[in-house]
Structures are given as C-alpha cells and as structure tokens.
Amino acid sequence: MTDLWKPNRPAPFGMTGTLRTEHGPASYAEAMPTVVHGFDWPDRVLVGTIGGPGSRAFYLQVREGRRVVSVLLEKQQAALLSEKIEQLLDGLMTTDSPVAIPAEAPPELVDSAPLEPVDEQFRAGTLGLGWDPSRAQIVLQAYSDQPLSDDDADEEQPAEIVAVRMPVGTARAFVQSTRAVVQAGRPLCPRCGHPMDPDGHVCEQPGLV
C-alpha cells in the first residue's frame, strides 16, 4: 500500500507495506473495530468541489446503489491522488501483467458531472493506494484523521476508512476528471504544492523564500 500525502507530514508519500485490501474490506473489520465503508464495484467515484476558486472544498465521493459517501480532501491530496494513480497505471503497462491497461481514459467513463448532495462522512488524514492483481483493480483507501479514541492517537488507528476498488478504465477516467477539477481553481506552487493566490504566495517548502 502506498501512503499518499497527509496534512502535517513532511514527505509526500512513501511505502507502508503490502496491499492490505487483497481479501476485501472485511479484512479490516477482523483486524480492528474501525468502521469500514467498502465499495467493491462503485457506480460512481469522483473528486468534486463545493464553492468558488479560493474557497473550494474538495470531496472524494463514492456511490454504489443508494449508498453515497463523501470524504473531505485537501486540494493537494486530490492533485497527488490523480498523479499517483496515473503513475501506478503507467507502471503496470510496462510489466508482464495480463491485464490490458488503457493508455487514455475511455471517454464514456469520464465523470464531469457535479457532486451529488454532500453529507460529509469525515476529513481524510492519510490516503492509501494499491493494486489488487487478483481482481485487476486499483484500490483507493481514505483514512479518517480522527483516531478511534484518545488512547489510539499515537498509533493513528483511524475511526473510519473508505475503501474503493476501481477497474483500470475507471481509474484512468478518475485521473482525468480529478486533474480537471484541481486545475479549474488556483494554480499549485511547483515547489511546495500549495495553492497560489493572485496577490502573491509565500512558499511553505523549508529553505525556500
């Protein structure tokens, strides 16, 4: 599982072990009393926003049947998520994987429609990303930034997890639509990754002024 950007964490991402969703979301319930919102075959998965440029709130939203879950993201998380999924798909294209990985997003799978009504489930702390070869699916996990209890704060055991599985075509389309949403607002600083305002920007990368 690849650990993506987390607020207040200096490194943007790093390896945290093997894919922990190989046996499906039920494995979490067996390991710890965390509430898991699992989506094995979602009808819709996208990143969308509420609000105007400079004050947009980003949400990862997943729907399967009548069940809809919305997770609050940072803009940097959304941008890095699309980047890392693209890198993962491109890497699979260069391996001996028996799965045909599309080089471009299938147009019929690109979701540019607005979010459905948002009922925020939680704010994302860490995002996890992996590949499940047994199902040929990209696995995306969003961990809440709230621990199960104060006693778990040091271990960062999340109170909730959203676990989403995406076929490779859907994942390519997710990359394209997410990138378009991110680029529709304020541009990101190429050094620190934070949004730049029209009236100036103070880079938060250590050692840069």
Task: Give residue 149's pLDDT.
Answer: 63
> What is the rounded average pLDDT for all residues in the chain?
82
Average pLDDT on 186-192 reads 78
Give yes or no for residue 19 having a pLDDT over 80: no
Task: Give residue 22's pLDDT.
Answer: 30
DSSP string, the chain: -EE---TT-SSS-EE-SS-TTTT-THHHHHHS--EEEEESS-SEEEEEEES-TTS-EEEEEEEETTEEEEEEE-HHHHHHHHHHHHHHHHHHHTTT-SS---SS--GGG---SPPPPP-EEEEEEEEEEEEETTTTEEEEEEEESSBSSGGGTTTT-BSEEEEEEEEHHHHHHHHHHHHHHHHTSSPBPTTT--B-BTTB----STT--
pLDDT band at 49 (very low <50, low <70, confident <90, very high): very high
Give yes or no for residue 128 having a pLDDT over 70: yes
Task: Give residue 146's pLDDT.
Answer: 79
**Domain 2-8+34-183, CATH:** 3.30.2450
Looking at the chain, the whole-number percentage of residues with pLDDT higher than 70 is 78
Q: Which residue has the higher pLDDT, 129 or 53?
A: 129
Give yes or no for residue 11 having a pLDDT over 80: no
Average pLDDT on 145-153 reads 64
pLDDT, tens digit, 9 for 90 and up, residues 73-82: 999 999 999 9
Average pLDDT on 7-24 reads 31
Q: Rounded to whole angstroms, what are the CA distances from 160 to 22, 36, 94?
A: 19, 6, 35
Q: Which residue has the higher pLDDT, 68 or 7?
A: 68
Give yes or no for residue 6 having a pLDDT over 70: no
Looking at the chain, the whole-number percentage of residues with pLDDT higher than 90 is 60
Going from N- to C-terminal start, the domains of the chain cover: 2-8+34-183
